[in-house]
Structure 1
Amino acid sequence: MARSLGLPHIMREADGTAVGHWGPYVLKTAFQPIFAFEPDGLKQRAFEGLIRPFRDGQATSPGQFFAAIPSIDRLRVEALARDLHILNAGTAFGPQVTLFINFDPSLFCEKPVVDTALHEMRIVLGEAGLPFENIVCEVTEQPSGSALALQDFVAALRREGYRVAVDDYGAESSDMERVKQLRPDIVKFDAKWVARLMDSQPGVTLLKVMVGEFRQQGIVTVFEGIEENWQLDVAHEVGASMVQGFVLARPELSPTSFRLEGGEPAQACTPSDPAPEALIVGDAPVIARKPQGRVFGRRGLI
């Protein structure tokens, strides 16, 4: 492999899976599917890459792992995580896959750092055989050094041909300002915030208004953390473009049982009406379920 910040810490296992090594930790990729509402059903359209650390053979929480990383090493470890996801997606799914990967904006405040990171990402994408346009770069909620630095970083991602997503959107003033400044292609709604709003009619109405406003701006919306069937009904009702959560598929360590085409779906689900635009490349089987009665929240609130 050509060298980059992350690649020297990666080894291939016998089955082709890329595994990272950082001190006492072994780092693995987990993939979770993202599904799009389409006129003929809910279809698997993308995957998010998630890091899974292990120490002495035991799983460690990602939060605990990253908290143990000194700030001087954070850029290298973040690059290692992205490299793992890209290499494993290329091996598992091939060039048709659409892959969501995370970027901590606080690490990309200086142009030389941005230029180096994007150059190294080109190397890894070439190694994996993945096209730039199939990569969605999620800008996480960590604050950047400055608004201008964050805008410059997002502009650099776009020049490379990547799509940009704002992660963990929760309608705080800072979130709305972030969307206004960055003009992302995709907004991923915070799971806990969406769950609270879905529990009442006023909350559902607010979600519908916000999703409609984003659609008018050409922004795709993704509801994260969908864990129950009734939440899928609400997500479809308010017009969300895509959904992600345990009710459809839990993350699986690479190599996974997921496939881009054919095979058994993770769980059944079909919306009752045609949905908004299909926005992600690739194809997967329609996932169908029986429509349910209209309720709000766990208790059927009205």
Structure 2
Amino acid sequence: MSGQSIPRPAAATIVVDEVGLETGVYGAYRLRTVYQPIFRVASDFLMPEGLEASVLPLLNFRPIERHEFLASVDLDAQADVLSLCNLMHIGNRRHARHDNLSLHVPFGHSLLCEEVALEHLALTFARLAEAGFPPRSLVCSVPNFETCDLNVLERILAVLGAAGAGLAVEGFGVNTQAIEAIKRFQPRIVSVDGSWFRRVSDVSAALRLMRQVIESLKNGGAEVLVKGLESPAHLLAALTVGADLVQGELLARPEEAGSIVDVRPLDIGRIFRDPETVVVSLT
């Protein structure tokens, strides 16, 4: 299969190597899939729940920042390139060797809020079927809704819901419009921004308020994912405010597709036996 190309979308292509690993090609860039595990809080353990996919752009074989790569993509090609990345993430999922886990893929504005969204969503579902994964295994992560065409967005969400795919609202904590969007569109998951959460993780008053907000979100049917955990103190804060799902380099580092992603249950007690743990009290 070396050199074989999957001819979609038109602005870029996917090249498949001899072992079936997929790489995106856009001009001089090579695009790789990276997965980071997401864990569910279950009593004394963190149980593997999903894999979050992201793109690792390479230029002259050197990694560059995602925002730097996207800034170099022509505006009229961005939807195609982002869609191609998601198709690549789905195709590479079998190399992660954890077919039972959900797959979280990023759906930016152009893939969810504009008229071309239905076309790209159809490509996504076709790719899932081609790879042998059901639509219910997919979670579409969306950074914001406030600039969307609401009529288009509602049609997209209706298609997602009918197929059984999930919706995750990203950026909770830094996106001031998130609460209204959550009330209106009732996502499956609300993701708390990691950099914001780390800043407030040792502020008792902020955590007390956040615990109340999270309880309200959960009463409305959403699960709460806290991202960006880098220390036992961050994990303790996430557990204290009632997170359902957690993610971060403390628990598992992102790995390129083709690497063996080590996704095993984690003993919470072992994490907290780190002598540097800082206890955050909400009393």
TM-score w.r.t. structure 2 length? 0.89
Cα offsets for 1:223-251 (capped at 9, x unmatched): 01111111111111211001111111111
Give me the whole-angstrom Cα distance separating, in 1, the residues matched to 2:254 and 2:99. 20
Matched, 1:48 2:32: no
SS of the equivalent of 1:11 reads strand
Partner of 1:250: 253
Mapped contact 2:170–2:193 kept (Cα < 8 A): yes
State how 1:50-65 maps to structure 2 within 5 Å: 50-65=54-69
Checking the alignment, whether the CA contact within 8 Å between 2:141 and 2:167 is kept in structure 1 is yes
The CA deviation string for residues 132-168 of structure 1, in whole angstroms up to 9 with x for no partner, is: 1010011123753333333332222222221111011
SS of equivalent to 1:51: strand
Q: Does 1:213 align with 2:216?
A: yes
CA 1:32–1:94 in 2, change beyond 3 Å: closer, same or farther?
A: closer
1:216: Cα distance to partner? 0.8
Q: Which moved more, 1:55-64 or 1:144-153?
A: 144-153
Q: Residue 187 of structure 1: which of 183, 186, 190 is its match?
A: 190
Cα distance in 2, alignment partners of residues 180 and 171 from structure 1: 17
Q: Residues 38 and 94 (structure 1 numbering): CA distance in 2 closer, same or farther, change over 3 Å? A: closer
Q: Aligned runs of 1:218-257 on 2, under 5 Å?
A: 218-257=221-260
Equivalence for 1:166? 169
SS in 2 for 1:289: helix
Q: Distance in 1 between matches of 2:62 and 2:83?
A: 23
User: What is the 5 A alignment of 1:55-204?
Assistant: 55-93=59-97, 95-111=99-115, 113-141=116-144, 143-170=146-173, 172-204=175-207
CA contact (8 A) 2:6 2:13 kept: no
Residue 22 of structure 1 corresponds to 26
Residue pair 1:41, 1:269 contacting (<8 A) in 2 also: yes
Amino acid at match of 1:50: S
In structure 2, the gaps of 5 or more residues are none
Encode CA deviations 1:155-210: one digit per residue, 9 max, x unaligned.
22222221111011116441111112211010001112212221211011012111
**Mean alpha-carbon deviation: is it higher for 156-165 or for 45-54?**
156-165
Q: How many Å separate the matches in 1 of 2:233 and 2:172?
A: 21
| Alignment partners' CA distance in 2, 1:246 and 1:153 | 32
In structure 2, give the amino acid aligned to 1:97: L
Percent sequence identity is 27
Matched residue type, 1:59: P
Cα RMSD of the aligned pairs, angstroms, is: 2.5
* Structure 1 residues 190 and 14: CA distance shift in structure 2, 3 A: same
Letter of the structure 2 residue corresponding to residue 255 of structure 1: G
Matched residue type, 2:279: V
**Aligned mates of 1:116, 1:74 — CA distance in 2:** 14
Query: 1:217: how far off?
Result: 1.1
Report the counterpart of residue 271 of structure 2 in structure 1.
289
- Specify the code of the residue in structure 2 equivalent to 1:159: A
Q: Alpha-carbon deviation of 1:3?
A: 4.5
